[in-house]
Amino acid sequence: MQSRLYSSSNNNSGSGSAAAAPGQEPRDKPYYVTTPIFYVNAAPHVGHLYSMVLADVLKRWQVLKGEPAILCTGTDEHGMKVQQAAQQQNMLPKALCDVNSQTFRDLAVTAKLDNDHFVRTTDPDHRAAVQYFWERLVDSGYIYEKTHAGYYCVSDETFYPEDLVALHHDGMTGKVQHVSTETGNVVEWTEERNYYFRLTALRERLLEFFAQNPEWVTPPSRMAEVVEWVKNHLEDLSVSRPLSRLDWGIPVPGDESQTIYVWVDALVNYLTMAGYPLLPPGEEHKGGWPADVHVVGKDIVRFHCVYWPALLMAVGLPLPKRVLSHGHWLMDNRKMSKSVGNVVNPFFAIERYGLDTIRYFLMLRGTITHDPDYSNLHIVQAYKKGLQTGLGNLVSRLTKGRAWSVRTAVQNRQPHGLTDAEPSGSLYRVQWQHAESIRGIAEEHMVALAPPTALRRIMDVIFETNKYMAHTEPWALAKDGNIEETEKVIYLIAESVRIAAILLQPFIPDKAVEILDRLGVRADRRGFEYAQIRADDAYGMDSADRKGDEALFPPLPIED
Q: Are strands 334-335 and 330-331 parallel, antiparallel or unpaired?
A: antiparallel
**Which has more confidence, 391 or 150?**
391
Is 19 a residue whose pLDDT tops 90? Answer: no
Averaged pLDDT for residues 394-410 = 94
- Average pLDDT of every residue of the chain: 91
What is the C-alpha separation between 461 and 463, in angstroms, rounded?
5
Q: Where in the chain is the domain with CATH 3.40.50.620?
A: 2-326
Per CATH, is 2-326 categorized as 3.40.50.620? yes
Residue 338: its pLDDT value, please?
63
Beta carbons of 71 and 109 less than 8 angstroms apart: no
- How many beta carbons lie within 10 A of that of residue 215, not counting itself? 11
User: Lowest-confidence range among 151-160, 245-254, 312-321?
Assistant: 151-160
Residue 174: its pLDDT value, please?
66
Residue 548: its pLDDT value, please?
56
What is the C-alpha separation between 550 and 131, in angstroms, rounded?
56
What is the C-alpha separation between 460 and 531, in angstroms, rounded?
16
Per-residue DSSP letter, 21: P
Q: How far is CA 458 from the centre of its chain?
A: 19
User: Lowest-confidence range among 27-31, 53-57, 198-202, 444-448?
Assistant: 27-31
Residue 369 DSSP SS3: coil
Is 222 a residue whose pLDDT tops 70? Answer: yes
Averaged pLDDT for residues 119-132 = 98
**Which has more confidence, 173 or 453?**
453
Q: Where in the chain is the domain with CATH 1.10.730.10?
A: 354-545
Beta carbons of 136 and 315 less than 8 angstroms apart: yes
Q: Report residue 6's pLDDT band, with 50, 70 and 90 as the boundaries.
A: low
Residue 156: its pLDDT value, please?
77
Averaged pLDDT for residues 442-465 = 97
Q: How far is CA 495 from the centre of its chain?
A: 30
Residue range 498-545, pLDDT digits in tens: 999 999 999 999 999 999 999 999 999 999 999 999 999 999 976 556
**Which has more confidence, 369 or 291?**
291
The per-residue b/e assignment along 240-273, b for 16 or more CB within 10 angstroms, e otherwise, is: bbebeebebbbbbeeeeebbbbbbbbbbbbbbbb
Beta carbons of 87 and 28 less than 8 angstroms apart: no
What is the C-alpha separation between 333 and 118, in angstroms, rounded?
32
pLDDT more than 90, % of the chain: 76
What is the C-alpha separation between 223 and 237, in angstroms, rounded?
21
Residue range 237-252, pLDDT digits in tens: 999 999 999 999 999 9
Residue range 328-343, pLDDT digits in tens: 999 877 777 666 667 8
Per CATH, is 354-545 categorized as 1.10.730.10? yes
Phi, psi of 176 (to 5 degrees): -110, 120
Residue 334: its pLDDT value, please?
79
